[in-house]
Amino acid sequence: MKKSVVAIAILAMISTASYAVAGAAPGPKVGAPAPAFEVSGLDGTKFASADLAGAGKPAVVVFWGLRCGSCLEEIPACNQLHAKYKGKVAILGVNVDGIDAGLLSDQIKKKNLRIDYTVVADPEFKMADQFGMTQAPLTVVVDRKGVVRYRHENYVAGDEKALDDLLCGLLTESP
């Protein structure tokens, strides 16, 4: 028993060390430019970071999964923020279950999830890697100039208050 525990611990250290040695980026930090991206919504509509910058809107990018309890708990809070800031703030839900848009759409219907904001599938984890997602949900706020202003992993009820305060502040800043 002890040998298997030691072996698992050694493997974990080796994989962690190789991850660090490979230079895997932790994603953009607060104050750094957000990565450029272009994705398709579940309806096929293209959605790109350049569109946000061109529209002068802040964006909330939420990485989530169908089997993630706290991710599912965050959806109603994001729906409320979407309703409050409709037309002023873009909210983008990036699904990281590794499935395509068709299957994701089917699963959303099957689970009877109400998601009012734009949802995209990230089946190859390209956006998740660009943003350095290590835990879901990951919520990132990008300001009008494309700079990361907020980065938060996990979700507990009440987290949306800080997000709401930040968005309110971003909207009062001059462009």
The tens digit of pLDDT for each residue in 10-29 reads 333 333 333 333 344 577 89
Res 56: pLDDT: 83
Q: Which tokens is 65 given?
A: 């999964």
d(CA 49, CA 121) in angstroms, rounded, equals 15
Tokens 């992993």 -> residue:
153
Task: Find all residues with CB under 8 Å of 40, minimum gap 6, and list them.
Answer: 46, 47, 101, 120
Is the confidence at residue 7, as pLDDT, over 90? no
- For 99-143, what is each residue's pLDDT tens digit? 999 999 999 999 999 999 999 999 999 999 999 999 999 999 999
Pick the residue with more confidence: 44 or 165?
A: 165
Is the confidence at residue 49, as pLDDT, over 90? no
Write the CA distances from 77 to 11, 81, 95, 116, 156, integer angstroms: 39, 6, 16, 11, 10
pLDDT band at residue 175, thresholds of 50, 70 and 90? Answer: low
Letter for the amino acid at 106? D
The pairing of strands 59-64 and 138-142 is antiparallel
Q: Edge to edge, what strands does the sheet with 138-142 contain?
A: 118-121, 90-95, 59-64, 138-142, 148-153
Q: What CATH class has 28-172?
A: alpha beta
d(CA 134, CA 129) in angstroms, rounded, equals 9
Task: Find all residues with CB under 8 Å of 127, minimum gap 6, and list them.
Answer: 35, 37, 39, 61, 63, 94, 120
